[in-house]
Amino acid sequence: MKLKTILAAGMLAVVAAACTEHKTLDMNWEVETPDGWIPAQVPGTLMGTLTANGIEPEALTADDYARINKTQFDKSWKYRTTFDLQPLNEGEHAVLNFDGISYRANVWLNGKQIANSKEMYGAFRQFEYDVTNEIAQQNKLEVEVFRAQPGEPNIGFADWNPRPADENMGIYREVRVKTCGNVALSHSAVRSRVNTETLNEAWLTIATELRNLSDKPVEGTVQGTADGQKFNYRVSLAPGEKKRFVSPTEIHINKPKLWWCHNMGKPELCDLHIEFAEDHKISDFEDVRFGIREIKSYLTDEGYRAFSLNGQPVLLRGAGWTDDIYLRDTPESNRQQLEYVRDMNMNTVRLEGFWGTSQNLYDLCDELGLFILVGWSCHWEWEDYIGSPCDELYGGILSPENIDLIARSFEDQVMWLRYHPSIIGWFVGSDMLPKPELEKKYQQFLSTEDDRQYLISAKDQTSEISGPSGTKMAGPYEYVGPSYWYLPDAPGGAFGFNTETGIGAQLPVKESLQKMLGPNLFPIDQRWNILCTASGSDMNSLKQLNEVIRNRFSEAKDIDEYLRRADMLNYESTKAMFESFRVRLPHTTGIIQWMLNSSRPGIYWQLYDYYKQPNAAYYGVKKANAPVQLIYDYYTKAVYAVNETLHPAKATARMQLLRGDKSTDDSQEIEIAPGMVTKVFDIDMAQAPAAFLLLKLGDDITNEYFIVSEKDTYDWDKTTWVHTPITKYASYAMLDSLCTTDVKLTTTPTNDGYQVQISNPTDKVAFMIRLTAKNQGELICPAYWSDNYLTLAPGETRTVTCRMPSLTDKTKVEIGVFKQ
């Protein structure tokens, strides 16, 4: 949150202002080790600090992680810092805030204990202390931190990586101090309603939290501006009272600038400046950025959970986020990853956990026009993770003490985050339901403090309090073929809202794998297993992927052949997953790829790797989610046009079906209404076992497929939460017999990268062309390709672009094809 120290122009006149000073204490921290005090990262975790100081290994590859001495975290660790403040005047107060500590802490300010570990605990609690009597001009702050114990609901990493060695103990979110008058102000936000028929007017409600720090009654004014509109409301506070204030009247806005997700419009943001004034003196203030938009969540006629934005239905398409295993993400790394989400034309990020060491992740989603679904992790729902007995319906939050802790934690998180327009819902359960006593607490709190939907579970569950979830979490989490998503028997297929699903192993590029495993990558052996998930039952080796490659193709002869085949499988099945949910509208409402990123070097569930290098699936997702696109339906064997924009789309649709030396071509002029799906072509595969299908819409929208007439055969009776076994694989042997194609490149520098012309002068298809940009042999990151892993028809030339923030005169563009 950006805080200003100068009053906004146009405010009500005041005689004087209290000394309002706001500081984030993120400098000069130290932590005590057996060898003395060392610089500490705050916000951050102990392992983040120890790796930054070279005390513990950075790499997290091979056996490094297993060699970490975890017993060192069984004891408490001490942090300290110093800071200066202006002297307090009469009637002024000081407040110290801790946004997140894992898991317990004792706190001393200038030698006086202000918090103890019996009361200051809970990874998602936030703590505020009136330190008026302890504060000085020069201050020393000391914090003793204890890690979470088995049974305590901590930060929720689950099976996507090993448990953090330190259980993420540390001061992992911001510590802030401020001075103010008698009344402190916090958690300010704006709720909005929109005229969804005209979009020409909106109504704003102001909310904030007030705390009377004095021992006397206070009367004053909540005042300020919201999107340039003035407001003021009289408020009375009893001595020591804490009050959640909601404006009794709405502010009417004509012709509002609305916040949209990026693929529907511009994510406009507005300014709220809010103050509390007592006797014409400003006691405290806040500045926040908010968005005017109206989010609705509802169940469709088929019982599926759906969302609308400003009156327009939205198909949620996104992926599951995780923070770095030691919470070392930075504003720069957050921005790069969220730019990736936009680049893939997705509109949603799901956080299984209230991730982030600050508000930065959420601020960026506001700015970039990305939805966030945020909430609790399944970490607390399984005994192996939380370390205490769990109920098969309600998970591990069972005791009155834990119910109270999590209810308070949820309140803290919602109040902290509620001003963000990007947040569209709160998950209060993942694999299971909250216990009814806990859900009632959620309901009661949200009824007055926030108007967004709470989602009882990511799974298909029914609550005795609020009814059905409308969601599904039926997998798969391991490989399925591209046709799976369209099949009527597929539990994870294209209907409803699938909150997490994916095809399992999604291998990084070779350059990243060599960082993880060294230069010798082949044959695939036990070394790779540590890079899989941490699940004790499945997804902990490449057994499944190896079986698919062997049955679809044959045994790979070397690492390059193995990776090309894995890339092709990754690209086509992940692309089909998103495409199927677009084609099957309105029976689909959301699809979340499991996952977006990796918390450590890994090879499962990711669209780009730990080093931020996109894999093949990244570009499949990007193509699948193009706002206007032509898509092949593997079940109906037809091509459909989709349009997710708010405007009609007119274009020429072209189809080329290449079967050996034969080519079938067709084209037609089409118009696609907003949000609609239109059938364009039927595809006849009767005359050939396999073919390349090349689609083009207008001048520059392309899509390509390798399709076979043979079908995968699934054993539906043996479906598990992991996947549905394939008993007979459709053969891709034709790809092994592809002729080598001599693809030509012409590169032209631009202001921020390159324009690359790719030509296929041969009479054969150039399949799965991978483009790379390197600087002195190292992959440039980030490099935003407009298309990649593309396929060219015989004689075709196509132009793509590559945007590179770190462009140098030593940049070199290289090319690779499926058959080399």
Mean per-residue pLDDT of the chain = 95
CA separation (Å) from 53 to 56, 339, 527, 603, 785?
Answer: 8, 30, 27, 27, 36
Q: At 44, list the tokens.
A: 């951050």
Q: How many Å apart are CA 640 and CA 631, to the nearest integer?
A: 5
Closest CA to 250 of 269, 271, 233, 274: 233
Tokens representing residue 242 in the block: 């804490």
Its pTM stands at 0.96
Distance of CA 745 to the CA centre of its chain: 35
| pLDDT confidence of residue 706 | 98
276-322 per-position pLDDT tens digit: 999 999 999 999 999 999 999 999 999 999 999 999 999 999 999 99
* Residues 6+ positions from 793 with CB-CB distance below 8 Å: 656, 658, 692, 694, 760, 765
Paired tokens of 158: 């689950």
Distance (Å, rounded) from C-alpha 818 to C-alpha 253? 56
Closest to 485 in 3D by CA, of 502, 471, 470? 502
Token digits of residue 638: 């037809």
User: Strand pairing partners for 614?
Assistant: 608
Tell me the C-alpha distance between 514 and 779, whole Å: 12
pLDDT class of 18 with cuts at 50, 70, 90 = low
pLDDT in tens, 422-453: 999 999 999 999 999 999 999 999 999 999 99
Question: For the chain, what percentages of helix, strand and coil (3-state, to nearest 5) are there?
Answer: 20, 35, 45
Could you write out the DSSP letters of every residue in 452-482? SEEES-SSS-EETTTEE---B-----S---G
- pLDDT for residue 1 is more than 70: no
**Residue 169 bridge partners (DSSP):** none
Nearby residues of 809 by Cβ (< 8 Å), 6 or more positions away: none
Q: Hunting for tokens 């390159």 — which residue is that?
A: 754
For the ranges 58-72, 204-218, 725-739, the maximum mean pLDDT occurs at 204-218
pLDDT in tens, 451-480: 999 999 999 999 999 999 999 999 999 999
Considering only CA atoms, which of 817, 62, 51 is closest in space to residue 514?
62
Tell me, what's the pLDDT at 687?
78
Q: Is the pLDDT score of 161 beyond 90?
A: no
Report the C-alpha gap between 378 and 153 in whole angstroms: 10
CATH of domain 738-820: 2.60.40.10
Instruction: Read off the amino acid at residue 393.
Output: L
Can you give the pLDDT at residue 535?
A: 86
pLDDT at residue 13, rounded to an integer = 43
Contacts of 405 (CB under 8 A, 6+ apart): 122, 125, 153
| Token digits of residue 478 | 């391991």
DSSP 655: E
Q: How many CB atoms lie within 10 A of CB 273?
A: 20
- Name the CATH architecture for the domain at 300-505+571-618: Alpha-Beta Barrel (3.20)
> What would be the CATH architecture of the domain defined by 21-180?
Sandwich (2.60)
The CATH class, in words, for 181-290 is mainly beta
Per-residue 3-state assignment (H helix, E strand, C coil) for 563-600: HHHHHHHHHHHHHHHHHHHHHCCCCEEEEEECCCCCCC
pLDDT of amino acid 160? 79
Percent of the chain topping pLDDT 70? 97
Inter-CA distances, 508 with 60, 514, 531, 598, 604, Å: 16, 10, 11, 11, 9
**Strand-strand pairing, 753-759 and 797-803:** antiparallel
- Candidates 348, 353, 397, 357; CA nearest to 374 is 353
CA 428/CA 439 separation, integer angstroms:
8
pLDDT of amino acid 806: 75
Radius of gyration of the chain (CA): 28
**How confident is the model over 636-689, as pLDDT tens digits?**
999 999 999 999 999 999 999 999 889 999 999 999 999 999 999 999 988 789
Q: Is 448 helix (H, G, I), strand (E, B) or coil?
A: helix
Domain ranges of the chain: 21-180, 181-290, 300-505+571-618, 738-820
Residue 19 is predicted with a pLDDT of 64
Given a cut of 80, whether residue 495 has pLDDT beyond it is yes
Average pLDDT, integer, range 798-802? 97
Token readout for 532 is 């899989």
Question: Apex CA 235: angle with CA 229 and CA 237, to 5°?
Answer: 145
Q: What is the pLDDT of residues 359-377, one digit of tens each?
A: 999 999 999 999 999 999 9
- Distance, CA of 245 to CA of 212 (rounded, Å): 13
Q: Both tokens of residue 511? A: 């350059």
pLDDT given for residue 5 in this prediction: 33
Matching CATH topology for 21-180 and 738-820? no
